[in-house]
Protein backbone atom coordinates (compact mmCIF):
# COMPACT_ATOMS: atom_id res chain seq x y z
CA UNK A 1 0.00 0.00 0.00
CA UNK A 2 1.20 3.51 -0.79
CA UNK A 3 1.76 5.65 2.25
CA UNK A 4 2.04 9.37 2.68
CA UNK A 5 4.94 11.00 4.48
CA UNK A 6 3.01 10.86 7.74
CA UNK A 7 2.71 7.11 7.30
CA UNK A 8 -1.03 6.93 6.76
CA UNK A 9 -2.41 5.09 3.76
CA UNK A 10 -2.92 7.21 0.68
CA UNK A 11 -6.02 6.66 -1.43
CA UNK A 12 -5.35 4.75 -4.64
CA UNK A 13 -6.44 7.16 -7.32
CA UNK A 14 -9.53 6.10 -9.22
CA UNK A 15 -10.18 2.93 -7.26
CA UNK A 16 -10.81 4.30 -3.81
CA UNK A 17 -14.43 3.72 -2.77
CA UNK A 18 -16.18 6.96 -2.00
CA UNK A 19 -19.58 6.13 -0.61
CA UNK A 20 -20.54 3.99 2.36
CA UNK A 21 -22.49 1.72 0.00
CA UNK A 22 -19.43 1.13 -2.15
CA UNK A 23 -17.28 0.48 0.89
CA UNK A 24 -19.85 -1.94 2.31
CA UNK A 25 -20.10 -3.75 -1.04
CA UNK A 26 -16.32 -4.06 -1.28
CA UNK A 27 -16.03 -5.31 2.30
CA UNK A 28 -18.70 -7.94 1.60
CA UNK A 29 -16.94 -9.01 -1.61
CA UNK A 30 -13.58 -9.28 0.13
CA UNK A 31 -15.10 -11.13 3.05
CA UNK A 32 -16.71 -13.72 0.73
CA UNK A 33 -13.47 -14.13 -1.19
CA UNK A 34 -11.40 -14.64 1.95
CA UNK A 35 -13.89 -17.16 3.29
CA UNK A 36 -14.01 -18.99 -0.11
CA UNK A 37 -10.22 -19.19 -0.22
CA UNK A 38 -10.09 -20.48 3.32
CA UNK A 39 -8.07 -17.49 4.51
CA UNK A 40 -10.59 -16.62 7.17
CA UNK A 41 -13.96 -17.74 8.41
CA UNK A 42 -17.22 -15.98 8.92
CA UNK A 43 -16.65 -16.51 12.62
CA UNK A 44 -13.33 -14.65 12.57
CA UNK A 45 -14.90 -11.73 10.71
CA UNK A 46 -17.77 -11.64 13.18
CA UNK A 47 -15.31 -11.70 16.06
CA UNK A 48 -13.53 -8.60 14.77
CA UNK A 49 -16.81 -6.77 14.31
CA UNK A 50 -17.87 -7.88 17.78
CA UNK A 51 -14.60 -6.70 19.27
CA UNK A 52 -15.25 -3.24 17.91
CA UNK A 53 -18.79 -3.31 19.19
CA UNK A 54 -18.13 -4.67 22.68
CA UNK A 55 -14.49 -4.38 23.65
CA UNK A 56 -13.45 -1.28 21.76
CA UNK A 57 -16.20 1.18 22.36
CA UNK A 58 -17.27 4.42 23.99
CA UNK A 59 -16.80 2.94 27.47
CA UNK A 60 -13.05 3.35 26.88
CA UNK A 61 -13.45 7.02 26.00
CA UNK A 62 -15.71 7.37 29.05
CA UNK A 63 -12.91 6.00 31.26
CA UNK A 64 -10.53 8.59 29.82
CA UNK A 65 -13.05 11.39 30.45
CA UNK A 66 -13.72 10.29 34.04
CA UNK A 67 -9.99 10.21 34.72
CA UNK A 68 -9.54 13.68 33.22
CA UNK A 69 -12.36 15.01 35.43
CA UNK A 70 -10.73 13.68 38.57
CA UNK A 71 -7.01 14.07 37.81
CA UNK A 72 -6.01 17.58 36.65
CA UNK A 73 -2.50 16.50 35.63
CA UNK A 74 -3.87 13.72 33.48
CA UNK A 75 -6.35 16.15 31.97
CA UNK A 76 -3.52 18.46 30.97
CA UNK A 77 -1.63 15.57 29.38
CA UNK A 78 -4.81 14.56 27.54
CA UNK A 79 -5.28 18.04 26.11
CA UNK A 80 -1.57 18.27 25.22
CA UNK A 81 -1.33 14.87 23.51
CA UNK A 82 -4.42 12.69 23.55
CA UNK A 83 -2.82 9.74 21.79
CA UNK A 84 -0.05 9.55 24.36
CA UNK A 85 -2.37 10.11 27.35
CA UNK A 86 -4.71 7.36 26.14
CA UNK A 87 -1.75 5.05 25.66
CA UNK A 88 -0.96 5.52 29.36
CA UNK A 89 -4.32 3.88 30.03
CA UNK A 90 -3.61 1.10 27.56
CA UNK A 91 -5.97 2.58 24.96
CA UNK A 92 -4.86 3.05 21.38
CA UNK A 93 -4.38 1.43 18.02
CA UNK A 94 -5.89 1.53 14.57
CA UNK A 95 -7.65 4.77 13.59
CA UNK A 96 -6.40 6.50 16.72
CA UNK A 97 -2.80 7.27 15.91
CA UNK A 98 -3.31 11.03 15.98
CA UNK A 99 -6.07 11.90 18.39
CA UNK A 100 -6.76 15.42 19.59
CA UNK A 101 -9.14 16.07 22.48
CA UNK A 102 -10.87 19.42 22.79
CA UNK A 103 -12.50 20.59 25.98
CA UNK A 104 -16.04 21.84 26.31
CA UNK A 105 -16.47 24.78 28.66
CA UNK A 106 -19.34 27.05 29.61
CA UNK A 107 -18.29 29.41 26.81
CA UNK A 108 -17.43 27.01 24.00
CA UNK A 109 -19.17 23.84 22.87
CA UNK A 110 -17.21 21.61 20.51
CA UNK A 111 -18.46 18.88 18.22
CA UNK A 112 -16.87 16.67 15.60
CA UNK A 113 -17.76 15.71 12.06
CA UNK A 114 -15.93 14.18 9.12
CA UNK A 115 -17.07 16.21 6.14
CA UNK A 116 -15.40 13.86 3.64
CA UNK A 117 -16.30 10.41 4.90
CA UNK A 118 -16.52 8.99 8.41
CA UNK A 119 -13.15 9.47 10.15
CA UNK A 120 -13.61 8.85 13.84
CA UNK A 121 -11.44 7.94 16.85
CA UNK A 122 -12.04 4.20 16.97
CA UNK A 123 -9.90 3.34 20.02
CA UNK A 124 -11.91 5.56 22.36
CA UNK A 125 -15.36 5.74 20.75
CA UNK A 126 -15.62 2.41 18.89
CA UNK A 127 -17.25 2.34 15.47
CA UNK A 128 -19.06 5.46 14.27
CA UNK A 129 -22.86 5.46 14.48
CA UNK A 130 -24.70 5.39 11.14
CA UNK A 131 -25.92 8.97 11.38
CA UNK A 132 -22.31 10.14 11.73
CA UNK A 133 -21.65 8.76 8.26
CA UNK A 134 -24.81 10.25 6.76
CA UNK A 135 -24.32 13.03 4.18
CA UNK A 136 -26.97 15.13 5.95
CA UNK A 137 -25.07 15.18 9.24
CA UNK A 138 -21.76 15.82 7.51
CA UNK A 139 -23.10 18.76 5.53
CA UNK A 140 -25.51 20.35 8.00
CA UNK A 141 -23.27 20.10 11.07
CA UNK A 142 -20.83 22.49 9.41
CA UNK A 143 -23.44 24.93 8.07
CA UNK A 144 -25.97 25.07 10.89
CA UNK A 145 -24.61 23.28 13.96
CA UNK A 146 -26.83 25.06 16.45
CA UNK A 147 -29.95 23.99 14.60
CA UNK A 148 -28.74 20.42 14.11
CA UNK A 149 -27.85 20.13 17.79
CA UNK A 150 -31.26 21.42 18.82
CA UNK A 151 -33.48 19.70 16.26
CA UNK A 152 -31.70 16.38 15.78
CA UNK A 153 -30.08 15.83 19.17
CA UNK A 154 -32.17 17.86 21.59
CA UNK A 155 -29.19 19.92 22.72
CA UNK A 156 -30.37 23.50 23.07
CA UNK A 157 -27.33 25.62 23.81
CA UNK A 158 -27.55 29.18 25.13
CA UNK A 159 -27.11 31.83 22.41
CA UNK A 160 -23.92 33.08 24.05
CA UNK A 161 -22.27 29.67 23.86
CA UNK A 162 -19.94 29.56 20.89
CA UNK A 163 -20.09 26.35 18.85
CA UNK A 164 -16.94 25.07 17.20
CA UNK A 165 -17.02 22.20 14.72
CA UNK A 166 -13.89 20.13 14.18
CA UNK A 167 -13.39 18.34 10.89
CA UNK A 168 -11.96 14.99 11.80
CA UNK A 169 -9.78 13.40 9.15
CA UNK A 170 -7.47 10.46 8.68
CA UNK A 171 -4.65 12.71 9.86
CA UNK A 172 -6.28 14.18 12.98
CA UNK A 173 -9.03 12.45 14.88
CA UNK A 174 -10.72 14.91 17.17
CA UNK A 175 -13.02 14.05 20.04
CA UNK A 176 -14.56 15.99 22.86
CA UNK A 177 -13.93 16.20 26.59
CA UNK A 178 -17.45 17.02 27.80
CA UNK A 179 -18.18 19.21 30.80
CA UNK A 180 -18.49 17.50 34.15
CA UNK A 181 -22.04 18.10 35.31
CA UNK A 182 -22.76 19.82 38.62
CA UNK A 183 -23.79 17.61 41.53
CA UNK A 184 -21.11 15.01 40.78
CA UNK A 185 -18.49 16.32 43.23
CA UNK A 186 -18.75 13.27 45.50
CA UNK A 187 -18.75 10.69 42.75
CA UNK A 188 -15.82 8.35 42.19
CA UNK A 189 -14.02 7.96 38.89
CA UNK A 190 -15.80 4.61 38.40
CA UNK A 191 -19.21 6.19 39.00
CA UNK A 192 -18.43 9.10 36.70
CA UNK A 193 -17.59 6.74 33.84
CA UNK A 194 -21.17 5.54 33.80
CA UNK A 195 -22.44 9.05 33.11
CA UNK A 196 -20.35 9.67 29.99
CA UNK A 197 -22.16 8.86 26.74
CA UNK A 198 -20.74 8.37 23.28
CA UNK A 199 -22.72 11.36 22.02
CA UNK A 200 -21.18 13.63 24.64
CA UNK A 201 -17.73 12.77 23.29
CA UNK A 202 -18.84 13.48 19.72
CA UNK A 203 -20.25 16.75 20.99
CA UNK A 204 -23.87 16.10 20.04
CA UNK A 205 -24.86 15.39 23.64
CA UNK A 206 -24.27 16.78 27.10
CA UNK A 207 -23.44 14.73 30.17
CA UNK A 208 -26.50 14.84 32.38
CA UNK A 209 -26.25 15.13 36.13
CA UNK A 210 -27.33 11.95 37.93
CA UNK A 211 -31.03 11.90 38.81
- Integer angstrom CA distances of residue 2 from 81, 102, 129: 27, 31, 29
Query: Is residue 125 a contact point for Co ion (CB under 5 A)?
Result: no
Question: 199: closest CA among 179, 181, 176?
Answer: 176
Q: Of the two residues 117 and 157, which places its CB atom closer to Co ion in the complex?
A: 117
- CA distances 205 to 11, 49, 177, Å, are 33, 25, 11
Helix (H, G, I), strand (E, B) or coil at 67: helix
Q: Between 112 and 114, whose beta carbon lies closer to Co ion?
A: 114
- Residues assigned a catalytic role: 114, 117-119
Tally of CB atoms within 10 A around 5: 6
Residue 116 beta carbon to Co ion: minimum distance, rounded to whole angstroms: 5
Nearer to Co ion, 109 or 173 (CB): 173
Residue 121 contacts residue 56 (beta carbons within 8 Å): no
Residues 62-121 that bind Co ion (CB under 5 A): 114, 116-117, 119
Comparing CB distances to Co ion, the nearer of 111 and 114 is: 114
In whole angstroms, the minimum distance from the beta carbon of 95 to Co ion comes to 10
Identify whether the C-beta of residue 77 lies closer than 8 Å to the C-beta of residue 167.
no
C-beta neighbour count of 113 within 10 angstroms: 25
Buried b (16+ CB within 10 A) or exposed e, 30-55: eeeeeeeeeeeeeeeeeeeeeeeeee
Give the shortest CB-85-to-Co ion separation in angstroms.
23
Residues of span 35-64 touching Co ion by CB under 5 A = none
- How near is the Cβ of 179 to Co ion at its closest, in Å? 26
Q: How many residues bind Co ion (CB under 5 A)?
A: 4
Applying CB under 5 A, the residues found at the interface with Co ion are 114, 116-117, 119
Amino acid sequence: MTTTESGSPAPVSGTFPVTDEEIAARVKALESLLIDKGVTSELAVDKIAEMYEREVGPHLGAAVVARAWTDPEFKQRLLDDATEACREMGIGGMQGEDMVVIENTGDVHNAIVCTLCSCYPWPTLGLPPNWYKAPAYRARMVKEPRTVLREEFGVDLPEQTEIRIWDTSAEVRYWVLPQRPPGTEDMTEEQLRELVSRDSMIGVGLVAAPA
